[in-house]
Amino acid sequence: MKKFTVFSGFLGSGKTTAMMALTQYYTEHFAKAAMISNDLGHGVNLADNRFAQLSGCNASEMTEECICYQNEALAERLNSYYDSGCELIMSDIPGFGVGALEHVYHGLTAKFPGQFELAPFTVMTEPRIVELLRGGTAGDLEYIYDTQLEEADLIVLNKCDLISDGKKAEYAAWLSEHYLHARIICISALRGEGMEELSLALKNGKASMRRPDIGYGGNAFMNAMGQMSEYYLQYHATVCCNDFDGTAYLRSIAEKVRDDARDAGREVPHLKLLAWEPEGDFGKVDLIGTDRDIEVNHDFARPCTQIAVVINASAVCPAEELDSILTQAVKGISNEYQLELIVYKTECFGMGG
Ligand SMILES: Nc1nc2c(ncn2[C@@H]2O[C@H](COP(=O)(O)OP(=O)(O)OP(=O)(O)O)[C@@H](O)[C@H]2O)c(=O)[nH]1
Ligand SMILES: [Mg+2]
């Protein structure tokens, strides 16, 4: 079997966490699986991909642009995974992206007819997004939240560990009433719950290949995309003292970004901070909104002396302002920790063009 599925869904909804859990679960229970992280930064080292690899997942990345516009490179990557014995491959798309149903599923089918078995087009969502959509309070980003779900054959309501069973049933019912073509599955990717149902839905299910009109490139699309900016930073840090706590350092940067963005009236749907040392010990910290607590997703086991750091952010903020908030936070906190930095790559751009 040569199954492929796209995982769409908004920033921070849990695509990477779910792909990591599913890659491992599927490999243990069904057949070898692999995951691809896709984002827009130029060059290598997405935080998502490094995190998945450091966690032991069969993972790789595709960068530069959405896989929507890389049908040939994607087909080549899929074939090399199938040649190595994989039977299920999943790739995400950038978290504010829409249109992958047309660009990836229909694109691959038109260019490589019969080569790939497309599993249901999968869209991750979470309780907070359902609440915003239900309440009509999603603002300018409503187009993205709603359109992503419109494209779904399979909607995965993630983070069910955060809500009661009653709420879970209520949200699932709301989703199935509003997105009539989609099947709904409830999971907690973080706890690994729901992986069997999700595995079977992808293994046995088929893409509908629907072509919903999503107004791609229209006013609502341009307005939503025009608000978003992306930030990518990679550096190496040398530590002065032998009690350096890498996780506390990442957390301090995340707190400063959160506070500065909130004071400026900006929103940061996802900031990822990952650091690792030469022997493979690592720390991972996430911020998924300026009204949220910082989430530590992996803790350094020991103090370290040399670290590589990757920071990726997606924000509802003009690019120059996001660049300045992030640059100041990294500089200021690194000074406090007396780190010496060698910066390899820094990039910040708005999605409005
Ligand atoms: N409570 C809870 N948190 C979760 C769950 N799944 C993911 N998270 C957390 O949500 C945050 C974002 O998860 P990711 O998997 O990185 O989200 P993503 O959709 O890949 O985000 P982008 O790459 O920015 O599009 C992380 O801090 C995760 O630990 C879950 O099932 N329950
Ligand atoms: Mg991700």
Domain boundary among 220, 238, 262: 220
Q: What's the CA-to-centroid distance between 285 and ligand 1, angstroms?
A: 11
What's residue 241's pLDDT?
A: 82
**Domain stops at, among 163, 195, 220:** 220
Note the pLDDT of residue 293.
97
pLDDT score, position 242: 82
What pLDDT is recorded for position 1? 79
CB contact burial 219-237 (16+ within 10 A = b; e otherwise): eebeebbebbbbbbbbbeb
Expressed in angstroms and rounded, the spacing between residue 270 Cα and the centre of ligand 2 is: 9
162 CA closest ligand 1 atom index? 1
| 38's tokens | 């896709």
Q: CA dihedral defined by 30, 112, 52, 312, rounded to 10 degrees?
A: -150
pLDDT value of residue 353: 67
Ligand 1: which atom is nearest the Cα of residue 9?
19
What ligand is nearest to the CA atom of residue 270?
1
Of 23, 61, 190, 198, the residue with max ligand 1 atoms within 8 A of its CB, to mutate for a pocket test, comes to 190
Q: Are residues 191 and 232 in the same domain?
A: no
The total number of structural domains in the chain stands at 2
Which residues are paired to 275 by β-bridges?
283, 309
CB neighbours of residue 56 within 10 Å? 10
Atom 26, ligand 1: which residue's CA is nearest?
Answer: 286
The owner of tokens 């990822």 is 272
Look at residues 195, 220, 245 and tell me which one is the last residue of a structural domain: 220
Mean pLDDT by 10 residues, the chain (353 residues): 95 98 98 97 90 98 96 98 98 97 98 97 98 95 97 98 98 98 98 98 98 95 96 95 94 98 98 97 98 97 95 98 98 97 96 81
37 Cα nearest atom in ligand 1? 23
Residues 38 and 135 in one domain: yes
Task: Identify the CATH number of the domain in which residue 254 sits.
Answer: 3.30.70.360
What would the 3-class secondary structure string for the chain be? CCEEEEEEECCCCCHHHHHHHHHHHHHHHCCCEEEEEECCCCCCCCHHHHHHHHCCCCEEEECCCCHHHCHHHHHHHHHHHHHCCCCEEEEECCCCCCCHHHHHHHHHHHHCCCCCEECCCEEEECHHHHHHHHHCCCHHHHHHHHHHHHCCCEEEECCHHHCCHHHHHHHHHHHHHHCCCCEEEECECCCCECHHHHHHHHHHCCCCCCCCCCCCCCHHHHHHHCCEEEEEEEEEEECCCCCCCHHHHHHHHHHHHHHHHHHCCCEEEEEEEEEECCCCCEEEEEECCCCCCCEEEECCCCCCCEEEEEEEEEEECCHHHHHHHHHHHHHHHHHHCCCEEEEEEEEEEECCC
Q: From atom 30 of ligand 1, which residue's Cα is the shortest distance away?
A: 159
In this structure, the residues whose C-beta lies within 6 A of any atom of ligand 1 are: 9, 11-17, 48, 95, 158-159, 161-162, 188-190, 270, 286, 288, 295, 297, 314
Residue 175's domain comprises 3-220
Question: How many angstroms is it from 48 CA to the middle of ligand 1?
Answer: 10
Distance 145 CA to ligand 2 centre (A): 16
Q: Please indicate, yes or no, whether residues 190 and 332 belong to a single structural domain of this protein.
A: no
165 vs 127: CA distance, rounded Å: 12
Ligand 1 center–CA 148 separation, angstroms: 17
pTM of this structure: 0.98
**Ligand 1 pocket, mutate which of 16, 145, 160, 351 (most atoms under 8 A from CB):** 16
| 276 & 142 share domain | no
| pLDDT value of residue 277 | 96
| Cα distances (Å, whole numbers) of residue 72 to 62, 85, 111, 301 | 12, 20, 8, 41
pLDDT score, position 298: 98
Tell me: do 248 and 207 sit in the same domain: no
Do 199 and 295 fall within a single domain? no
Q: How far is the CA of 239 from the centre of ligand 1 (A)?
A: 29
